[in-house]
């Protein structure tokens, strides 16, 4: 980043374990003398995998106390979901720009309060949906906005990502509806591991670079195969009404209870072309105008890489130095939150019958899975349907 020596940027990290450890490592390894990890707010910071690196930095049990004693230009919130709303609000009230890891909050009501507070204070809240900061995604979205592929018609994302019992035992809130204090968590397959895929479809429907579209209709089926409170498998259909065309249909299917892990299947169809994932590459196809077939193929590039954390932190630093609005901010993140909120309020979580669940031991942990679920998901993806039951 250029021309950053004119101001010291002091950053506080709220949550140094889990994903927060990556932010700590990024900040400590930067070669920018004017960017400083000034403090950490985490009551269990000593359990962090980067504790040895941050042990000489001031550590506080809570963010409020930290910001009363440390003048921060920015705060990175990478704590459990149930603390996001309050910690973002605390940071804004202390005059700091904010980067909050996904999801923005646990509920849509909380998200709307964050949007309001951000606009009242004039401070930005970036939200860590990593693809929304990725140059490959942004280049493709720019082409979509400019009409290169025509009008959007159908978007589909399918994710087969089995997870072990160890995944849910890694902390005290994974797969929970509420924590022990009664705070809403709503951790789920599409509110955590695959949240950015759901958000990405809505992001591509946004009419401006920093906008994501709010669905007009939502329908879902939620299944639970793991020994957890919330759902681990989600089937979600959405529609977005756009002027002068048929509604855009969106399908999201993601599961942690399948047997085989696969690369995500992502396809966005338009009237004059499509975008799709080929491995980790985003590919664009433009259809020929006067004949069937493809007239142009655009390889936008790889969407995976080790710079996701740095890109998000760079956006936070630019917000401090230049008051630059992040491309994915609190309002951008609300459509994803609206889908999650609607599903939790309107869809019954169906328990997969125990007779349909198998368990295997691998990598030192138990893996609960439903034989045949992968094939069912593929069938539903092809037909753009939701399941009627477990058959």
pLDDT, tens digit, for every residue of 328-338?
999 999 999 99
Q: What is the pLDDT of residues 181-235, one digit of tens each?
A: 999 999 999 999 999 999 999 999 999 999 999 999 999 999 999 999 999 999 9
The DSSP secondary-structure symbol of 73 reads: S
> How would you label 271-310 residue by residue, b for 16+ Cβ within 10 Å and e otherwise?
ebbbbebeeeebbbbbbeeeeeeeeeebebbebeeeebbb
Q: The domain that contains 377 carries what CATH number? A: 3.30.360.10
3 state DSSP class of 170: coil
What confidence score (pLDDT) does residue 383 get? 95
Mean pLDDT of 65-83: 98
Asked if pLDDT for residue 5 goes beyond 70, the answer is no
What does DSSP assign to residue 186? Answer: -
Report the chain's mean pLDDT, rounded to a whole number: 95
> How confident is the model at residue 324, as a pLDDT?
98
- 168 and 246 part of one domain: yes
Mean pLDDT value of segment 51-59: 95
Split at pLDDT 50, 70, 90, the class of 157 is very high
Co-location of 152 and 239 in the same domain: yes
| pLDDT for residue 306 | 75
Q: How confident is the model at residue 4 (pLDDT cuts 50, 70, 90)?
A: very low
How many structural domains is the chain composed of? 2
pLDDT of 362 strictly over 80: yes
The CA-atom distances, in angstroms, between 287 and each of 129, 292, 378 are: 30, 7, 26
> By the 8 A CB rule, do 337 and 223 touch?
no
Is residue 390, in this structure, part of any structural domain at all? no
The yes-or-no verdict on residue 3 having pLDDT over 50 is: no
Structure tokens at 249: 């249909």
% pLDDT > 90, the chain: 93
**Can you give the residue range of the structural domain that contains 55?**
9-129
Looking at per-residue pLDDT, the higher value among 169 and 2 belongs to: 169
- 70 and 40 part of one domain: yes
Whole-angstrom distance, CA of residue 271 vs CA of residue 258: 33
How far apart, in whole angstroms, are the C-alpha atoms of residue 276 and residue 54?
41
What is the SS3 assignment for 332? helix
Residues 183 and 219 in one domain: yes
pLDDT over 70, % of the chain: 97
The answer to whether residues 306 and 160 belong to one domain is yes
Domain boundary at 81, 99, 129, which?
129
Report the alpha-carbon distance of residue 237 to residue 252 in Å, rounded.
7
Contact 328, 129 (CB under 8 A): yes
Q: Identify the domain boundary among 95, 129, 163.
A: 129
Give 133's pLDDT tier (boundaries 50, 70, 90): very high
Q: 203 and 115, same structural domain?
A: no
Query: Does residue 3 sit within a domain?
Result: no
* DSSP-assigned beta bridge partners for residue 367: 360
User: pLDDT per residue over 240-288, tens digit each?
Assistant: 999 989 999 999 999 999 999 999 999 999 999 999 999 999 999 999 8
Beta-strand runs (E) in the chain: 9-14, 35-41, 59-60, 74-77, 97-100, 125-127, 152-160, 217-224, 233-240, 248-255, 265-270, 273-278, 281-287, 294-302, 349-351, 358-362, 365-369
d(Cα 187, Cα 230) in Å, to the nearest integer?
A: 7
Please tell me the total number of residues recorded for the chain in this structure. Answer: 391
pLDDT of residue 175: 98
Rounded distance, CA 134 to CA 324, Å? 17
1 pLDDT above the threshold of 60? no
Half-sphere exposure of 50 (CA within 13 A, CB side): 22
Q: Are 136 and 193 found together in one domain?
A: yes
Residue with tokens 């299917």: 253
pLDDT at 295: 86
């Amino acid at each position: 980043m250029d021309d950053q020596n004119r101001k010291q940027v002091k950053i506080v990290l709220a949550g140094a374990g889990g994903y927060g450890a990556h932010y700590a490592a990024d900040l400590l390894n930067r070669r920018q003398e004017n960017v400083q990890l000034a403090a950490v707010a985490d009551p269990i910071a000593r359990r962090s995998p980067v504790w040895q690196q941050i042990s000489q930095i001031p550590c506080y049990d809570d963010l409020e106390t930290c910001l009363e004693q440390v003048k921060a230009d920015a705060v990175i919130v990478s704590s459990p979901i149930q603390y996001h709303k309050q910690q973002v609000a605390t940071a804004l009230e202390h005059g700091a720009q904010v980067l909050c890891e996904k999801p923005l909050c646990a509920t849509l009501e909380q998200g709307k309060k964050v949007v309001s507070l951000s606009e009242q204070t004039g401070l930005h809240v970036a939200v860590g949906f990593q693809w929304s900061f990725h140059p490959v995604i942004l280049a493709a979205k720019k082409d979509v906005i400019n009409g290169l592929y025509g009008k959007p018609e159908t978007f589909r994302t399918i994710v087969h990502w089995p997870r072990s019992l160890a995944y849910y035992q890694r902390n005290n809130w994974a797969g929970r509806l509420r924590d022990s204090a009664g705070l809403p968590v709503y951790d789920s397959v599409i509110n955590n591991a695959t949240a950015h895929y759901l958000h990405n479809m809505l992001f591509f429907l946004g009419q401006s670079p920093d906008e994501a579209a709010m669905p007009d209709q939502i329908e879902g089926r939620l299944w639970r195969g793991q020994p957890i409170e919330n759902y681990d498998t989600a089937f979600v259909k959405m529609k977005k009404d756009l002027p002068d065309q048929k509604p855009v249909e969106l399908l999201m299917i993601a599961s942690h209870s399948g047997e085989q892990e696969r690369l995500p299947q992502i396809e966005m169809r338009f009237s004059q072309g499509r975008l799709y994932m080929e491995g980790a590459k985003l590919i664009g196809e433009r259809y020929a105008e006067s004949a069937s077939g493809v007239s142009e193929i655009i390889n936008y590039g790889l969407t995976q890489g080790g710079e996701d954390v740095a890109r998000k932190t760079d956006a936070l630093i630019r917000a401090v130095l230049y008051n630059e609005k992040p491309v994915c901010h609190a309002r951008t993140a609300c459509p994803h939150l609206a889908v999650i909120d609607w599903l939790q309020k309107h869809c019954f979580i169906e328990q997969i019958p125990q007779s349909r669940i198998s368990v295997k031991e691998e990598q030192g942990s138990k893996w609960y899975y439903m034989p045949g679920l992968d094939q069912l998901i593929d069938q539903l993806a092809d037909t753009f349907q939701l399941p009627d039951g477990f058959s």
